[in-house]
Amino acid sequence: MLVRCVQIISPTSGEAVSDHSGIRIGVEYPVLEVITTVRGVLLRIPERPNVTGERDTPGLWDAAMFTVVSSRLPDCWAAESGNGQLTLTPKEWQRPGFWDDYFDDEPSACAEYERLRAEILSQASARSDAC
């Protein structure tokens, strides 16, 4: 799944802003995860490292900021429902604590993230809407 940013909504204030260091209007982004809740829909977007060797810090962004460029869903995604939300993402990332482990630099979580991120990015770059 590939989306294009058409507006920026500040994650802290919820207000539309003209600029943010983590995302740019007009740029296409692959979607790593979709989370739906009663409050809305969030997309997890990879942030490309600014410095060589720096780790990716994928952020959650309001889906209202984007338009879909390619609706092809990654083959590795699975649906999970619970706690009032529906999540589409790799099954390995749906385990409780995965994102905590990743952001705490736990080696197996980082390796799992890199492997599945590469798979998602590869499929997103194909930009195919064919079934």
Query: Is the pLDDT at 100 greater than 70, yes or no?
Result: yes
Separation CA 97–CA 48 (nearest Å):
23
Report domain extents, the chain. Answer: 2-126
Per-residue pLDDT at 48: 62
Grouping H, G, I as helix, E, B as strand and the rest as coil, residue 110 is helix
> Is the separation of the CB atoms in 76 and 21 below 8 Å?
no
Q: Work out the average pLDDT over 46-70.
A: 81
- Look up residue 20 and give its DSSP letter: B
Per-residue pLDDT at 129: 47
Read off the pLDDT of residues 8-31 as tens digits, 9 standing for 90 and up: 998 888 888 888 878 899 999 999
Q: Could you tell me which of 130, 118, 131 has the C-alpha nearest to residue 30?
A: 118
